[in-house]
């Protein structure tokens, strides 16, 4: 595995003026990403998907567990070593409006990472900026313009270009198309897929939307309240979902095809707070199949075919 | 269709931008009957929210005004009111009373320093002049109607004590407090998780069956349109480009934009097949034009796979393309 996440947990203890219980944002999560493959992390609010993404690049410190990238345990790296390692791993943010500095030209935005890493000469950096801009199918004259001159879709392309400028091997993309219009989402996903294949990138793709990750991901991890409910190869997950939560999540996505408007299964109740997760299986309070044992036993992963695992006592 | 509750004819709303007045929406014709849901669907900048703000009289007055057209509301009394002729006070008496409103962010529509019970009771006291205690009792009943468990206790809580889904239920209770003829719901489920969205959509449908109000549902999500609406009006660059019954429009779109938009929604289980065949996801090339730089003629022409020189000559009219169906495309017969 190029990226190997084992038993990752992240708890947020109350700090400063906040009181109350510890938030268990991520609890015992394990998954791997083979080199050149894409894994999707999918879940609703409070599922811990962003916390996992940030822990994997050590933008926040995990509470326990191991994260290895290309064999290196990133938790033991010194600050200097981490900075060096970060060149090989990049983060793409959700909001193309908030993640680009309004006072910098696109050229400055694209060369900033190379400046920090002290890569090449000034001319080299400028050349590289033009090159990645072409990769994301943007015109070269964009280099001297400012972010506000571009649409949301174009800004997200610039965000991608910034990540690619350092020639990373591994990218964490956190909801990269969620802020974009439908007609633009597909363009950006196609571009990401194309670049991922051409450059052989390894990617962790985070989304709240199961429909969005299907095309780009080889494997999908379904999360609920910081825990893994199901992991499966993409094709298998959509064709044969096992976990009741995965099924409910798929069923809740409104379908634009009137003839496919199946009898929907609507989950009752709210997502519990990650500061007081239910005992046993965390999904049991909303699960249509829950039984008394679900409140007692924390379900272990079961296999449902190659690379397909789910955590449910009842299925 | 019975007599419409809401009727819009020739609406044109302009914004003053950089010293010029630009039409954010133009040529809008719409009608909604009691018990009917019309979805106004479009991407950012399409003018769907400007249309709903124009109806509610909530346009930012310093920069925007209704330049032309009429908006008529059939009141509870049966009288037809021209909303465009009303002053602020007249509109204030209708909003929250005969026109209910729900917005995207429940937290910003709720006042953090009042209990939810007080906030639901407020329109009842103002518009229906019920005494405080009766209004409070009505608020608790409304909380029960929108599916909030333990409504007496919840009525005494503050918005921050409720989850996002609960808060949106509270704003729905507020909107329905005075039994409006028309409910305007502007992206009401966009900020919600998908399993909570499903609950809220079902709730709105059930409330409409019980109360028979007309709903104008503004959304960017075509899946949500298919779930909730009877008819749909698709907007692009400030104009309605296609309108008709949802099932027909979605099965046989007559405008290339509608067709492209429908094709670009990810279908569960389909994307994997495209990937295995090495094909890209269907997408619409280019991006939505800005108001400042609208192309001549059909605004969709620069992105349209069916564009011909005639498309650039004039803005196409909204043509009748079937019973109850219209499309703004000169080549609709070939779509």
Q: How far is A308 from chain B (nearest CA, A)?
A: 16
E-assigned strand segments in chain A: 3-12, 23-33, 38-42, 64-69, 72-73, 89-92, 170-174, 202-207, 219-224, 227-233, 302-303, 309-310
* Rg from Cα positions in chain A: 21
Strand order in the sheet with A3-12: A23-33, A3-12, A64-69, A72-73
Sheet hosting strand B4-17, strand order edge to edge: B20-33, B4-17, B64-74, B80-82
B245 and B172 in a common domain: no
Closest CA to B219 of B52, B65, B9: B52
* Domain identity same for B109 and B94: no
**Which CATH code, of 3.40.50.920, 3.40.50.300, 3.40.50.170, 3.30.70.1710, is assigned to A3-88+168-310?**
3.40.50.300
d(CA A160, CA A205) in angstroms, rounded, equals 13
Instruction: Report the distance separating Cα B27 and Cα B8, nearest Å.
Output: 10
Q: Note the pLDDT tens digit of each residue in B131-151.
A: 999 999 999 999 999 999 999
Please indicate, yes or no, if residue B22 is contained in any of the structural domains.
Answer: no
Q: Which residue of B has its CA nearest to A187?
A: B283
Residue B266 to residue A212, Cβ atoms within 8 A: yes
The answer to whether the Cα torsion of A156, B105, B100, B209 is positive or negative is positive
Other residues' Cβ atoms within 10 Å of the Cβ of residue B290: 12
> Which of B43, B164, B275 lies closest to A215 in CB terms?
B275
Cβ of residue A209 closer than 8 Å to a chain B Cβ: yes
C-alpha to C-alpha distance for A148 and A112, rounded to whole angstroms: 18
The model's pLDDT over B311-331, given as tens digits with 9 standing for 90+, comes to: 999 999 999 999 999 999 999
Which one, of A256, A177, A181, lies nearest residue B235 by Cα? A181
Query: Rounded distance, CA B207 to CA A54, Å?
Result: 42
- State the pLDDT at residue B56: 94
Q: Does A191 contact chain B (CB < 8 Å)?
A: no
Give residue for tokens 């067709």. B259
List CB contacts of B225: < 8 A, sequence separation 6 or more.
Answer: A256, B39, B41, B217, B219, B232, B246
* Helix boundaries (H) for A9-95: 49-56, 79-86
User: Chain A within 8 Å of B293 (Cβ-Cβ)?
Assistant: no
CB contact under 8 A, A44 and B250: no
Q: What is the domain count for chain B?
A: 2
pLDDT-above-70 percentage for chain B: 99
Residues B243 and B331 in one domain: yes
Neighbours of A263 (CB within 10 A): 6
Reported as a single tens digit per residue, the pLDDT across A129-175 is 999 999 999 998 999 999 999 988 899 999 999 999 999 999 999 99
Structure tokens that stand for B264 in this block: 């670009």
CA distance A98 to chain B (A): 17
A88-108 pLDDT, tens digit each: 999 998 887 788 999 999 999
Q: Are residues B223 and B335 in the same domain?
A: yes
DSSP A109: H
In terms of domains, do B207 and B252 share one?
yes
| Nearest residue of chain B to residue A47 (CA atoms) | B193
Q: Is the pLDDT of residue A262 over 80?
A: no
Residues B50, B100 contacting (CB under 8 angstroms): no
Q: Is the ipTM of this complex over 0.85?
A: yes
Count of other CB atoms within 10 angstroms of residue B247: 16
Q: Are B298 and B315 in contact (CB under 8 A)?
A: yes
Give the separation between CA B268 and CA A210, rounded to whole angstroms. Answer: 8
pLDDT for res B195: 92
Q: Is residue B82 part of a domain?
A: no
Question: In this model, does residue B2 exceed pLDDT 80?
Answer: no
Collapsing DSSP to helix, strand or coil, B231 comes out as: strand
Q: Point out the residue among B201, B266, B284 whose CB comes nearest to the CB of A183.
A: B284
The β-bridge partners of B22 are B15
CB contact under 8 A, B201 and A190: no
Chain A nearest-CA distance from B42, in A, is 9
Give the pLDDT score at A247.
95
Banded pLDDT at B235 (limits 50, 70, 90): very high
Q: Which of B33, B98, B6, B10 is nearest to B230 (CA)?
A: B33
Which tokens hold the place of A106? 């696109």
Q: How many CA atoms lie within 13 A of B206 on its CB side?
A: 11
> Does some domain include residue B10?
no
B190 and B214 housed in the same domain: yes
Q: How many residue pairs from chains A and B have C-beta atoms closer than 8 A?
A: 139
Domain of residue B286: give its range.
33-58+89-98+186-335
3-state secondary structure of B311: helix
What pLDDT, in 10s, does the model give residues A186-243? Answer: 999 999 999 999 999 999 999 999 989 999 999 999 999 999 999 999 999 999 999 9
Cβ–Cβ under 8 Å, residues B21 and B197: no
Location of structure tokens 């190029």: A2
At A19, the pLDDT band (50, 70, 90 cuts) reads confident
Structure tokens at A105: 């030209």
Nearest to B195 among A44, A187, A258 (CB): A44
Average pLDDT rounded to a whole number, residues A57-65: 93
Q: Say if residue B190 is in the same domain as residue B209.
A: yes
A173, A165 contact by CB (below 8 A): no
- Residues of chain B contacting A45 with CB distance shorter than 8 Å: 164, 193
The pLDDT of residue A95: 80
CA B3/CA B160 separation, integer angstroms:
41
For residue B60 the two structure tokens come to 């930012």
| A315 has a pLDDT exceeding 60 | yes
Q: B124 and B207 in one domain?
A: no
User: In this structure, is residue B7 part of a structural domain?
Assistant: no
Of the three residues B126, B152, B177, the one that is the final residue of a domain is: B177
Q: What is the pLDDT of residue B287?
A: 85
pLDDT band for position B123 (cuts 50, 70, 90)? very high
CA gap B23, B1 in Å, rounded? 31
Nearest chain A Cα to B200, which residue?
A: A266
Q: Which range, of A264-268, A284-288, B253-257, averages the lowest pLDDT?
A: A264-268
Tell me, yes or no, if B317 comes closer than 8 A to chain A by beta carbon: no
On whether residue B28 sits in a domain, the answer given is: no
Whether A263 shows a pLDDT value over 80: the answer reads no
Residue A259 is predicted with a pLDDT of 64
Domain shared by B137 and B264, yes or no: no
Q: Tell me how many degrees the CA angle B238-B242-B247 measures, rounded to the nearest 5.
A: 135
Answer whether residue B248 is part of any domain: yes
Any chain B CB within 8 A of the CB of A152?
A: yes
Could you tell me the two tokens for A311? 């955590």
Distance CA A254, CA A240 (A): 19
**Looking at residue B1, what is its pLDDT?**
52
3-state DSSP percent of chain B in helix, strand and coil, to 5 = 40, 25, 35
Q: Where are the domains of chain A?
A: 3-88+168-310
Domain boundary among the residues B177, B209, B236 is at B177
Closest CA to A203 of A171, A165, A174: A171
Q: What is the CATH number of the domain that holds B190?
A: 3.40.50.300
Question: For the CA atoms of chain B, what is the radius of gyration?
Answer: 21
Same domain for B132 and B232, yes or no, is no
Q: Which pTM was predicted?
A: 0.92
Judging contacts by C-beta atoms under 8 Å, the chain A residues touching residue B283 are 183-184, 186-187, 190
Domain end call among B117, B150, B177: B177
Claim to verify: residue B312 and residue B216 sit in the same structural domain: yes
Region B9-34 average pLDDT: 95
CA atoms within 13 A on the CB side of B267: 17
Same domain, yes or no, for B144 and B191? no
């Amino acid at each position: 595995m190029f990226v190997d996440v084992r038993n990752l947990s992240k708890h947020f203890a109350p700090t400063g003026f906040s009181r109350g219980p510890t938030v268990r944002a991520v609890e015992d999560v394990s998954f791997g990403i083979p080199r050149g493959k894409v894994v999707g992390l999918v879940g609703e609010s409070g599922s811990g998907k962003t916390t996992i993404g940030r822990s994997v690049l050590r933008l926040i410190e995990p509470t326990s567990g191991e994260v290895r990238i290309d064999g290196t345990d990133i938790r033991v790296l010194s600050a200097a070593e981490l900075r060096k390692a970060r060149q090989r791993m990049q983060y793409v943010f959700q909001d193309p409006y908030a993640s680009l500095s309004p006072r910098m030209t696109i050229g400055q935005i694209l060369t900033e990472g190379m400046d920090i890493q002290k890569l090449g000469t000034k001319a080299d950096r400028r050349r590289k900026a033009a090159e990645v801009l072409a990769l994301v199918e943007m015109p070269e004259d964009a280099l001297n313009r400012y972010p506000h001159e571009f649409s949301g879709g174009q800004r997200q392309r610039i965000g991608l270009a910034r990540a690619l400028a350092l020639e990373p091997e591994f990218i964490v993309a956190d909801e990269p198309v969620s802020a974009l219009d439908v007609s633009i989402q597909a363009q950006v996903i196609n571009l990401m897929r194309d670049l991922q294949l051409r450059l052989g990138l390894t990617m962790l793709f985070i989304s709240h939307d199961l429909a969005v990750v299907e095309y780009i991901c080889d494997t999908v991890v379904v999360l609920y309240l910081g825990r893994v409910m199901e992991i499966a190869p993409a094709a298998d997950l959509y064709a044969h979902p096992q976990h009741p939560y995965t099924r409910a999540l798929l069923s809740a996505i409104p379908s634009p095809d009137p003839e496919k408007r199946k009898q929907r299964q609507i989950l009752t109740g709210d997502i519990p707070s990650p500061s007081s997760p239910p005992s046993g299986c965390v999904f049991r309070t909303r699960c249509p199949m829950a039984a008394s044992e679900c409140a007692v036993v924390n379900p272990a992963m079961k296999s449902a075919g190659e690379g397909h695992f789910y955590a449910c006592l009842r299925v | 269709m019975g007599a419409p509750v809401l009727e819009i004819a020739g609406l044109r709303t302009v914004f003053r931008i950089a010293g010029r007045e630009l039409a954010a929406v133009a040529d809008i014709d719409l009608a909604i009957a009691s018990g009917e849901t019309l979805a106004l669907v479009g991407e950012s900048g399409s003018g769907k929210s400007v249309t709903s703000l124009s109806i509610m009289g909530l346009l930012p007055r310093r920069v925007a005004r209704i330049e032309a057209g009429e908006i008529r509301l059939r009141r509870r009394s049966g009288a037809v009111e021209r909303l465009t002729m009303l002053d602020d006070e007249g509109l204030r008496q209708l909003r929250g009373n005969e026109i209910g409103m729900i917005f995207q962010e429940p937290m910003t529509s709720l006042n953090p320093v009042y209990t939810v019970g007080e906030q639901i009771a407020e329109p009842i006291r103002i518009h229906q002049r019920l005494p405080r205690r009766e209004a409070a009792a009505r608020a608790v009943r409304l909380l029960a109607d929108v599916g909030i468990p333990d409504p007496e206790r919840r009525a005494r809580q503050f918005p921050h004590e409720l989850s996002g889904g609960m808060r949106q239920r509270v704003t729905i209770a507020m909107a329905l407090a005075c039994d409006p003829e028309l409910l305007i719901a502007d992206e009401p489920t966009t900020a919600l998780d998908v399993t909570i969205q499903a609950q809220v959509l079902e709730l709105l449908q059930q409330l409409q069956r019980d109360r028979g109000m007309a709903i104008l549902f503004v959304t960017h999500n075509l899946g949500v349109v298919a779930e909730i609406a009877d008819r749909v009006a698709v907007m692009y660059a400030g104009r309605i480009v296609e309108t008709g019954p949802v099932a027909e429009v979605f099965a046989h779109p007559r405008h290339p934009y509608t067709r492209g938009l429908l094709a670009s929604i990810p279908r569960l289980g389909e994307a994997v097949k495209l990937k295995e065949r090495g094909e890209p996801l269907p997408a619409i090339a280019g991006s939505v034009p800005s108001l400042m730089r609208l192309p001549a003629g059909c605004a969709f022409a620069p992105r349209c796979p069916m564009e011909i020189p005639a498309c650039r000559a004039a803005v196409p009219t909204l043509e009748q393309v079937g019973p109850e169906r219209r499309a703004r495309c000169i080549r609709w017969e070939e779509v």
